[in-house]
């Protein structure tokens, strides 16, 4: 199983150009079975974000930093995503608003991005209430955004704060 902690997308039909341009950046980047999608592993995600901000990559559409990744089967997805999100919920404070966003590639008809967002949002809500936090969801501009990226039988989750989203326009969720 390949380690990965970033997901990148290119503009339409520019994945090979993006892969070539990424040769100049630290890390390993691999195309996956979905058009215009790469997964990668870098030692320092902020360093990659800074490098991309300083050096425009014309074919790069999005870059999503992830905190953890896992393989799953349909029957194990819910349990595995909850397990991956548990440490992230501990970073949500009393004053923070949050939202959950999911991008699904594969499993059409078997997994629904909207349903995952609702179920995981409810799961996070209950986790916060258990910590005596009165949760507040902000779907437009949350302080903290929980991202779930599904790439076939692989998935990654990350917690992206508003400051990071504002600083790096390539983070588009």
Amino acid 116: pLDDT: 98
Taking domain 71-159, whether its CATH number is 1.20.58.2240 is answered by no
pLDDT at 2: 79
What's the pLDDT tens digit per position in 31-78?
999 999 999 999 999 999 999 999 999 999 999 999 999 999 999 999
Question: Could you tell me the residue ranges of all domains in the chain?
Answer: 6-65, 71-159
Is a pLDDT exceeding 80 seen at residue 1?
no
Residues 83-134 pLDDT 10s: 999 999 999 999 999 999 999 999 999 999 999 999 999 999 999 999 999 9
Joined together, the tokens standing for residue 107 give 């499993």
Q: Which residues pair with 104 in a beta bridge?
A: 150
The helix-helix angle for 77-89 and 113-130 (nearest 10°) equals 40
Whole-angstrom Cα distance, residue 79 to residue 72?
Answer: 9
The pLDDT value recorded for residue 168 is: 97
């Amino acid at each position: 199983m390949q380690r990965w902690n970033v997901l990148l997308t290119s503009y339409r039909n520019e994945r090979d150009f993006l892969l070539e341009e990424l040769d100049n950046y630290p890390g390993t980047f691999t195309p996956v079975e979905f058009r215009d999608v790469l997964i990668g592993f870098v030692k320092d995600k902020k360093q990659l974000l800074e490098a991309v901000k300083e050096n425009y990559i014309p074919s790069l559409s999005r870059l999503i930093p992830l905190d953890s990744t896992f393989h799953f089967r349909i029957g194990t997805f819910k349990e595995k995503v909850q397990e991956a999100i548990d440490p992230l919920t501990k970073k949500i404070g009393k004053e923070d608003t949050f939202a959950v966003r999911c991008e699904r590639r594969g499993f059409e008809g078997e997994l629904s991005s909207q349903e995952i967002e609702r179920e995981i949002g409810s799961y996070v809500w209950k986790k916060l209430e258990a910590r005596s936090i009165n949760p507040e969801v902000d779907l437009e501009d949350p302080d903290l955004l929980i991202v779930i990226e599904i790439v076939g039988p692989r998935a990654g989750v990350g917690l992206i704060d508003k400051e990071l989203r504002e600083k790096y326009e390539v983070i588009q969720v």
